[in-house]
């Protein structure tokens, strides 16, 4: 029988990990109530899996992994069947004037501009992050899921495609469109 490197202490989970897990969830879904629910679901799932904990990681790491899969399940639910969603069609329509139709070059009014976020002022960074979160919430659910998994969770393209049931070519189209929309929203609301 192997000894566990780390022992679980479920009685202390809320005090020790709830704030961290909530912050992790809110950064990925930007919905306070849903983030709270996911943290509670994480604790419940962890309680059901206590016997399976092998002690190869820290308690917080194990709980975060459970939460991560809860978030991926949420992404999958939100993004299923959204290929023809009105949100997607609206977002694609908004992008149609980014480029000149004849040549595919940037429309001068929509061309990339400097965001001016090189400043290391914490107040400016907090304000920018707030605007970024609002812009992210305007993305269609599938686009938000793909963007978050790629750029916040550093997931591979293969994992994202597998989890969200999208083809690699669809993934690249989605990530491109998400970036275009985020850039446009940031330019409109930040500059």
pTM for the whole structure? 0.61
Q: How confident is the model at residue 120 (pLDDT cuts 50, 70, 90)?
A: low
Is the pLDDT at 114 greater than 80? The verdict is no
Q: Which of 59, 15, 27 is nearest to 153 (CA)?
A: 27
Beta bridge partners of 99: 106
Q: Is the model more confident about 104 or about 82?
A: 104
Whether the pLDDT of residue 128 is over 60: the answer is yes
Q: Where are the domains of the chain?
A: 10-79, 86-190
Distance CA 59, CA 25 (A): 17
Stretch among 19-28, 106-115, 172-181 having the lowest mean pLDDT: 106-115
Q: Given this structure, which CATH class describes domain 86-190?
A: mainly alpha
Does CATH number 1.10.1740 belong to domain 10-79?
yes
Largest distance between two CA atoms of the chain: 70
């Amino acid at each position: 029988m192997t000894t566990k490197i780390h022992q679980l202490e479920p009685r202390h989970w809320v005090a020790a990990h709830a704030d961290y897990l909530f912050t992790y969830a809110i950064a990925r879904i930007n919905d306070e109530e849903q983030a709270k629910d996911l943290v509670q679901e994480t604790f419940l799932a962890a309680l059901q899996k206590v016997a399976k904990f092998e002690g190869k990681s820290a308690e917080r790491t194990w709980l975060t992994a459970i939460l991560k899969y809860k978030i991926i399940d949420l992404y999958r639910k939100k993004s299923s069947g959204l290929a023809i969603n009105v949100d997607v069609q609206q977002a694609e329509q908004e992008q149609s004037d980014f480029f000149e139709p004849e040549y595919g070059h940037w429309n001068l009014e929509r061309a990339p501009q400097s965001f001016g976020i090189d400043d290391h002022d914490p107040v400016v960074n907090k304000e920018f992050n707030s605007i970024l979160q609002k812009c992210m919430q305007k993305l269609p659910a599938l686009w938000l899921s793909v963007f978050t998994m790629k750029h916040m969770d550093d997931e591979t393209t293969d994992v994202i495609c597998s989890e969200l049931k999208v083809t690699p070519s669809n993934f690249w189209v989605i990530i491109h469109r998400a970036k275009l929309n985020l850039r446009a929203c940031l330019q409109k609301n930040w500059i």
